[in-house]
Amino acid sequence: MKKIDKYTNIEKELPNLAQVLKEALQTDFLAIRRVDKNCEKYQKECESICFLNDAAYVVYSPHIKKADHHSELFVFLDETGKTLCHVGGAEMELYGLVKPCDNLELSDEYKNSIRKE
């Protein structure tokens, strides 16, 4: 089975992204979203988790059911993909805190593969 990379520009946009995270994102094992810094929830979370002030992205598992999110671990990244901190799902919820990554481009091969499903 041929490996299909999800994003065409992930290395350019996130040059400091750990290799293991990059591979997991490219295969859809993990997902990435942009942190919505304008939302009230984000600003409140920054008061208790200081590393979130510099967070631009969060990596999480799209495969974990909502009822099990308390067991999940979120990886927060800066603008370059450098890992800033890990926050457990028991400490915070991502709902209302994230938005799509409009700077990451899906590969044509990936788009064609999801159309076939």
- pLDDT score, position 8: 96
Ranges assigned E (strand) in 1-117: 31-35, 57-60, 73-77, 83-88, 98-99
- Provide the pLDDT for residue 117: 59
Is the confidence at residue 115, as pLDDT, over 80? Answer: no
* pLDDT at site 4: 87
Alpha helices, DSSP H, located in 1-117: 10-13, 19-26, 40-48, 108-116
Q: Which of 27, 73, 79 is nearest to 53 (CA)?
A: 79
Q: What is the pLDDT of residues 47-80, one digit of tens each?
A: 888 788 899 999 999 988 878 878 899 999 999 9
pLDDT mean over 78-105: 91
Cβ distance 55 to 49 under 8 Å?
Answer: no
Cα separation, 76 vs 72, whole angstroms = 13
Q: What is the pLDDT of residue 96?
A: 82
